[in-house]
Amino acid sequence: MKAYFQRLLAYAAWASRRVISAVRATPEAHAEAMPLLAHMLAAEHVWLARLEHREPTHAVWPTLSLEQCATLADENQAGYQAFLSQLDESRLTELIRYSNSRGDSFATSVADILTHVALHGPYHRGQLAKIIARCGGTAINTDFIMFEREHS
């Protein structure tokens, strides 16, 4: 199961890099795309901080530049790789206790958090692809199967 999450999060990092490149190539999309891109990456950061029992350094909806987003994407990838490399499979069922951005308390398993991180990004990448295409850029394909074909 650990290898499965490593693969999903490697896909997420690959897809984020593709979206960042597409946003960079479409300046007309920046005003609309940047808040969404920053949120997508900051949410990954926040979840990693929760998994590591530390306070995040970014809000869920931060204001970030494109270069800050690129840096955050790299940090997220390195952070999740490090977290997963040391994760014992038995911890996948461990409950992580945290408060959301409204202060509500929850307890969610490590496996469910990793699943959420893997599934949250594609939702926003689809929105970003639509914004990029509407602004005259080239819509990017970030489907998992494209990642699989490139990495098989």
| Residue numbers belonging to the annotated binding site | 39, 120, 124
Each residue of 63-73: b (16+ CB within 10 Å) or e?
A: ebebebbbebb
* Spatial separation of the C-alpha atoms in residues 76 and 97, rounded to whole Å: 21
Q: How far is Cα 137 from Cα 121, in angstroms, rounded to an integer?
A: 20
Annotated binding-site members for a divalent metal cation: 39, 120, 124
Q: Please count the other Cβ atoms lying within 10 Å of the Cβ belonging to residue 100.
A: 11
